């Protein structure tokens, strides 16, 4: 049973560019959350997708957008990249409402983004 997979593993971009990160959830999971982990910090919630809609959003600007496909996979898009966007981007998947049903979020290995 494959866990959460993310691609690419590493990415280097320059300021102003746009980037797309991809996530495939764990088999059977229908909910995908994205987190940003800056160096030396804990992950920060970006947003969550369920049934192809953004269900919850953290304190991130509109430059961060996402999408969920019918097969539950998801993309994170970041426009007009800034140096401060350099971070590890983590995808997590779960089944439904994680707290209501005491479900667990499973995390992928992340995509390391470096903005020069």
Partner 1 sequence: AQSVTQPDIHITVSEGASLELRCNYSYGATPYLFWYVQSPGQGLQLLLKYFSGDTLVQGIKGFEAEFKRSQSSFNLRKPSVHWSDAAEYFCAVGRLDSSYKLIFGSGTRLLVRP
> What residues make contact with partner 1 under the rule CB under 8 A?
4, 31, 33, 35, 40-45, 48, 55-56, 58, 90, 92, 97-100, 102, 104-110
In the chain, what is the straight-line distance between the N-terminal and C-terminal CA atoms, in Å? 37
- Considering the complex, what minimum distance in angstroms separates the CB of residue 83 from partner 1? 21
Phi, psi dihedrals of residue 3, rounded to the nearest 5°: -85, -155
For residues 71 and 102, which CB has a smaller minimum distance to partner 1 in the complex?
102
For residues 10 and 63, which CB has a smaller minimum distance to partner 1 in the complex?
10
- Considering the complex, what minimum distance in angstroms separates the CB of residue 90 from partner 1? 6
For residues 14 and 104, which CB has a smaller minimum distance to partner 1 in the complex?
104
Q: How far is CA 23 from the centre of its chain?
A: 7
For residue 108, cis peptide bond before it (omega within 30 degrees of 0)? no
For residues 66 and 108, which CB has a smaller minimum distance to partner 1 in the complex?
108
- Considering the complex, what minimum distance in angstroms separates the CB of residue 111 from partner 1? 10
Strand locations in 8-110 (E): 10-13, 19-24, 31-37, 44-50, 53-57, 64-68, 74-78, 87-94, 106-107
């Amino acid at each position: 049973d494959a866990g959460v997979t993310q691609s690419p593993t590493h990415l280097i971009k320059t300021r102003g560019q746009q980037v797309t990160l991809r996530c495939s959830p764990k088999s059977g999971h229908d909910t995908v959350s994205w987190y940003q982990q800056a160096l030396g910090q804990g992950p920060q919630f970006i947003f969550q997708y369920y049934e192809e809609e953004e269900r919850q959003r953290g304190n991130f600007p509109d430059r961060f957008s996402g999408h969920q496909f019918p097969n539950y996979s998801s993309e994170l898009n970041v426009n007009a990249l800034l140096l401060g966007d350099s971070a590890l981007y983590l995808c997590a998947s779960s089944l439904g409402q994680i707290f209501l049903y005491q479900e667990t979020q499973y995390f992928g290995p992340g995509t390391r983004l470096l903005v020069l």
